[in-house]
Copies of this chain bind each other. A is one copy, B any other.
Amino acid sequence: MHFLAICGSLRAHSFNRLLLRCAEEVVLHQGWSIDWCDLGALPLYSEDLEATALPESVQRYKAQFKRADALLIATPEYNHSISAALKNAIEWATRKGNNLDGKAVAVMGTSGGFAGTARAQAHLNQILVHVGAYPLPRPVIQLPFAKQHFNTEGRLINEQTRSLIEKQVIALGVWANRLNPVSVL
């Protein structure tokens, strides 16, 4: 079982990236593997960029998608929706071959405010279902007041959320395997 981690925030010390680090621990503990996307390397989508060969960063990124059995997305919430970086990544994943079609996806997110990315995740789920992905409905991971829940080393100290992430990663592996059986599971 091979996962792809996608962090919608480009900030180096992003709390959402720290959530994915926690998920990575679970993935590795299960004996599965994980790769990370660099959304900041992708150019802003324009159909004009499809006229010739796709930019190298886009080709690399689409190859990462093809290799993945399941996606782990951590989304921030910017202005009540997903980030431009994440929307841009979805655009590229769905052009010149839809790499999201039929993919198992789990979504998690944390924000500084009280909503914990609930509104961004609502938009994201609409988009994911439209592109043919299969979002895992439960557990929901929407962590409010982000900075209270990490220690100075960037480790998630909120045990309830750690436990939800563990449940989510394992459920995603089972879900992806049910959609597309993987011989190693």
Chain A residues packing against B (C-beta within 8 Å): 9-12, 39-40, 42, 44-48, 78-85, 87-88, 90-91, 94, 119, 123, 126-127, 130-131
Contact = CB atoms under 8 A, between A and B. Distances in A.
A79 B127 contact: yes
Given A40-B46, A46-B40, A81 B123 contact: yes
Given A84-B91, A87-B81, A91-B78, A44 B45 contact: no
A144 B12 CA distance: 41
Contacts of A79: 87, 90-91, 94, 127, 130-131
A102 to B, nearest CB: 16
A89 to B, nearest CB: 8
A44 B47 contact: no
Instruction: Say how many copies of this protein the assembly contains.
Output: 2
A50 to B, nearest CB: 10
Nearest to A131: B79
Contacts of A91: 78-79, 83-84
B87 A83 contact: yes
A151 to B, nearest CB: 20
Given A11-B47, A79-B127, A87-B87, 6 more contacts: A10-B44, A40-B44, A42-B44, A45-B83, A45-B85, A81-B126
B88 A11 contact: no
Nearest to A42: B44
A84 B85 contact: yes
